[in-house]
Structure 1
């Protein structure tokens, strides 16, 4: 049976072949090998639709071993820490309220028209007296999950992330504990199939450096090399992301925040049942073959994260 995968544009297909080692003639066999391995894992109950699984293969440049590890970690960490990583409702609590602030947006046109997806988080739009950073992260998690399923630019070329701290305070920074920082760093690098191509920080504030210096050593050397701190110098950002690819609120041409929010509201409505179904997927550590995972050892403040032992 042919894979149930959305066809890539010719430009994206060329990039997937050249940069991700994707072989369209082997795609069905690659997916079948992945599914066969999943069937042999008694502890693992993931989504197995082709579009979801191919995102993990693309995110790992078609290394089946890496894709296995990443998929296992994706569901392991979501099951163990649902308050950090598992979204099951996009209508309850403060979720929609936070989304409607426009604090977290994915811009409609990718960088250079056929490159990475651009995402922006405007921290100052979520005052600490109203929202905790974990509530904001749940909105970001949901948007990432939708991107995994439907954003071919993000899956092939990755994501460029801009953290804009205008209007934020030190209190925003200090909501992020070392334990939380470690969990988010590990999930981003070890579990998420979307590749982070660059992370830009603009309009940085007092307290930023302390949190930044906490995060940075937790990252791989490769990820550290993709961090850019621009302070208040917008021209340093636009040297790498031409102004036209930023929203109109920044002087660019890449949509307006209200338009983007309205479009994503429709997506969140359309994915409502999908997120409810997230409650059904995960891992059962009592069924994991071999040695159980020592989560406290993996994420304790004192120790550094050690890679999960996954075939």
Structure 2
């Protein structure tokens, strides 16, 4: 998308946008123009000013103009302060392509039982001896940026994150620093217009509590209430029906067994630098 906005939402999602995020189609263009004019007067923000980029932030902030300005400021501030995640983002680069093909993060098809998009991340699939956390974080940000650029429904429905800790080891744990975790949480909570609706952990190892407590220390209170260690405790037990996600979201059905190449990654390669010069 880009340039003048053309709505691709279904009638149901258009209504949902009205009900849940205060979107008024008749006022949409004026709100976008208001934010664009504000950006033009912010010399410290090197922002994209196309309709679609601005609309994503308006939706992520439920059309609060002041909150949208704050989030845009934070988003571009974080990008400036984290050049290791936002510079030289070439999906054709041999090392970056190898990381992307691991399937470290990707959206699941369809919606969950509450009509929300679901993003799966797998922090245990990379080799800490050959890939550092900055390289992994860069790949994850690239995947998220493409997803948000092309999936209009995700901002309206909100996003449920599922963190699969299968194969997560002590080596992975020691590669994570509190500084890196804080940067990640700040970006996703205060910078990206993702509207996180839930954070579910699955296949959690013995070291999970250590990781979780670090992440939790940087979570906002609203996010803390949306966290669940779901499948390790409930799937396969008599209480499985109480799980916030449906049974068909079990780990073995979440992604192709052994699959390492996903449509979104192939798409990124074909687009080259299209999304990564400035997103």
Whether contact under 8 Å (1:123, 1:164) holds in the other structure is yes
- For the Cα contact (< 8 Å) 1:102–1:258, is it kept in 2? no
- In the alignment, what sits opposite 2:245? 241
Query: Equivalent residue for 1:69?
Result: 70
Q: Secondary structure at the match of 1:25?
A: helix
User: Normalization by structure 2: what TM-score?
Assistant: 0.89
1:291 aligns with none
> In 2, distance between residues paired with 1:241 and 1:72?
34
Aligned position for 2:15: 14
Partner of 2:190: 190
Distance 1:126 1:251 in 2: 19
For 1:135 and 1:233, locate their aligned partners in 2 and report how far apart those are by CA, in whole Å: 32
CA shift, 1:262, in A, is: 3.3
2:92 is matched with: 91
Q: CA deviation at 1:93?
A: 4.6
Quote how far apart the aligned CAs of 1:191 are.
Answer: 0.5
Match of 2:58 in 1: 57
Q: Which residue of 1 aligns with 2:33?
A: 32
Does 2:229 correspond to 1:229?
Answer: yes
Instruction: Rate the CA distance shift 1:276–1:130 in 2: closer, same or farther, 3 A.
Output: same
Q: How does 1:1-311 map to 2 (within 5 A)?
A: 3-85=4-86, 88-112=89-113, 115-230=115-230, 232-235=232-235, 239-245=243-249, 250-252=251-253, 256=256, 261-278=261-278
Residues in 1 aligned to 2:126 and 2:145: alpha-carbon distance in whole angstroms: 21
The offset of 1:130, in angstroms, is 2.6
Q: What is the distance in 2 between the residues matched to 1:175 and 1:238?
A: 34
Unaligned stretches of 5+ residues in structure 1: 282-311
Unmatched tracts of structure 2, length 5 or more: none
Contact 2:58 / 2:65 at 8 angstroms: preserved in 1? yes
TM-score, normalised via structure 1 length: 0.80
Q: Quote how far apart the aligned CAs of 1:101 are.
A: 1.9
**In structure 2, what is the Cα distance between the partners aligned to 1:237 and 1:81?**
42
CA distance in 1 between counterparts of 2:255 and 2:202 reads 20
CA distance in 1, matches of 2:190, 2:252: 35
Relative to structure 1, the CA distance from residue 93 to residue 78 in structure 2 (aligned partners, 3 Å threshold; closer, same or farther) is farther
Q: Which residue of 2 aligns with 1:301?
A: none
For the residue of structure 2 that corresponds to 1:198, the secondary structure is strand
SS of equivalent to 1:97: helix
Whole-Å Cα distance in 1 between the matches of residues 88 and 121 of structure 2? 18
Residues 117 and 158, structure 1, Cα contact 8 Å, conserved in 2: yes
1:87/1:275 contact within 8 Å kept: no
Distance 1:272 1:60, change over 3 A: same
How many residue pairs match? The answer is 273
Residues 139 and 6 of structure 1: CA distance in aligned 2, closer, same or farther (over 3 Å): farther
- CA-based RMSD of the aligned residues comes to 2.4
Aligned counterparts of 2:69 and 2:194: Cα–Cα separation in 1: 15
